[in-house]
Amino acid sequence: MSGSGRLMISLALFASLLVCVNAHFNYKEALTKSIIFLEAQRSGKLPPHPRPPWRGDSALQDGKTVGVDLVGGYYDAGDNVKYGLPMAFTVTTLAWAAYFYKAELTSAGEMKNVLDGIKWGTDYFLKASTGNNRLFVQVGDPVSDHECWMRPENMKSSRKVLEINQNCPGTEIAAETAAALAASSIVFRDVDKTYSRNLLHSAKKLFQFANEHRGTYNGECPFYCSYSGYHDELLWGATWLYIATRRPIYLKYIQDESTTAIVSEFSWDLKFAGAQILLSQLYWEGQKEFQTFQRQADGYICQVFPESPYHQAFITPGGLLHFRDGANAQYVTSTAFLFSVYSDLLARHRMQVTCGDKHFTSVQLMAFAKRQMDYLLGDNPIKRSMMVGFGNNPPLQAHHRGASVPVMAPTEDVNCGMSFVYWYNTNKPNPNELTGAILGGPDKQDRFIDSRTNSSYTEPCTYVNSVAIGVLAKLAK
């Protein structure tokens, strides 16, 4: 190759590097819009003047068939079913963001909106867990729901209710809901002490139920099957309860009874890494009995960080983490959040992560977290944002009933068969902007198809955004 050819290639690589290093976005705008998406997922009686102006009241009779008020909560994604496991994980991680990044969220002017979002979920969980050893875990029938492409305000599909109890246990869902309530109790302690105590009381009861009546509940399959078992949720729940109470009963469970493992994923199904990072914070604050968990947190970093000799996570040619096709963005935002939190802990305690013969600093971890978020916001090979209503060339066809169906009178009756003709199988932008939704995202080759019929690319989920809020708050400083 000629010298001029080598020079041109070098300049091109340098220019590409500059784009990566200098990529900058309005993170405060992204933060605000991420929260607005969660508001678009609310079920029940909405407050006046919702920020997504096309949303209205929905599912106001939920729970009536079983004599319980189950109005409220969140729809998980682009459909109109309320699933307990992902909803609880959404609330737990949102509360973690409020707990760890309180100063950053307050500075950004978003703390009240985050607290409102948490409370929308915890109010529902309190109603769903009024009895002993009983928790209502799902409202809606996914089969009938998927037979009709209709906004929640006009849906006519079944609102059947599923529950777990001592005869039909569901340790994962009970323990995750306990985690959500315990984490939220910490956040509300200085805001509303009575409400905080109520949350903590329910969290304790649910954890006891989860631990004493063990069993995996598959009622939410095939959409939210527990592939990882329930030991991670028990450790996760016990960790949040210990942070909230400092009671020996939860310390004993963590030390003597829990199961733990080094993993490379943090998600609605797998919580080990989250618990390990929480316990690492306590370890560095003086509780040396948590050293094993701190080492496992390092192990998580080593399995994910691309420069580690032990890394296992796949990185696309454009630099995006890719775990699975279908809502892969959830793993991107959850990884970015954990790396952001761990980076702050390393900096606070002047520590590094050691992976074999390599050492990584807090700055390197945060740079990786930022790189992942920047990719989703538009610094990627196709130069387009994965967040609706944000950045360059954002998606227009989110796989989402409420966003893709025009606003109509609540009493209007729609033929379910024709609903797919009118609003699903059309190559038109959604009439309602699903502001702030981070969609499923590109495939392993950085390809993205903006089509609502390709749900693996375009479906949003609450738990994609909930774990993005903390890291966006940090970046917005």
Q: Would you please indicate which residues are annotated as catalytic (active-site) residues?
A: 79, 399, 450, 459
Ramachandran area for residue 235 (φ above 0: left; ψ -120 to 50: alpha; else beta)? alpha
Question: What sign does the dihedral 441-436-301-177 (CA atoms) show?
Answer: negative
List residues bridging with 314 in a β-sheet.
322
Residues 46, 50, 56, 62, CA torsion sign: negative
Residue 152: asked if its preceding bond is cis (omega within 30°), the reply is no
CA–CA gap between residue 244 and residue 199 (Å, rounded): 11
> Between helices 329-348 and 468-475, what is the axis angle to 10°?
50
- 381-412 in b/e burial notation, b at 16+ Cβ within 10 A? beebbbbbbbbeebbbbbbbbbbbbeeeeeee
The residues pairing with 322 across neighbouring beta strands, listed in sequence order, are 314
| Contact by Cβ (8 Å): 244, 309 | no
Please state the φ and ψ torsions of residue 138, each to the nearest 5 degrees: -160, 140
Would you tell me how many other CB atoms lie within 10 Å of the CB of residue 303?
18
What residues have CB less than 8 Å from 471, skipping those under 6 apart? 333, 336, 337, 340, 369, 373
The secondary element (H helix, E strand) that includes residue 314 is strand 314-315
CB–CB of 117/47 below 8 Å?
no
* Pairing of the two strands 82-83 and 134-139: antiparallel
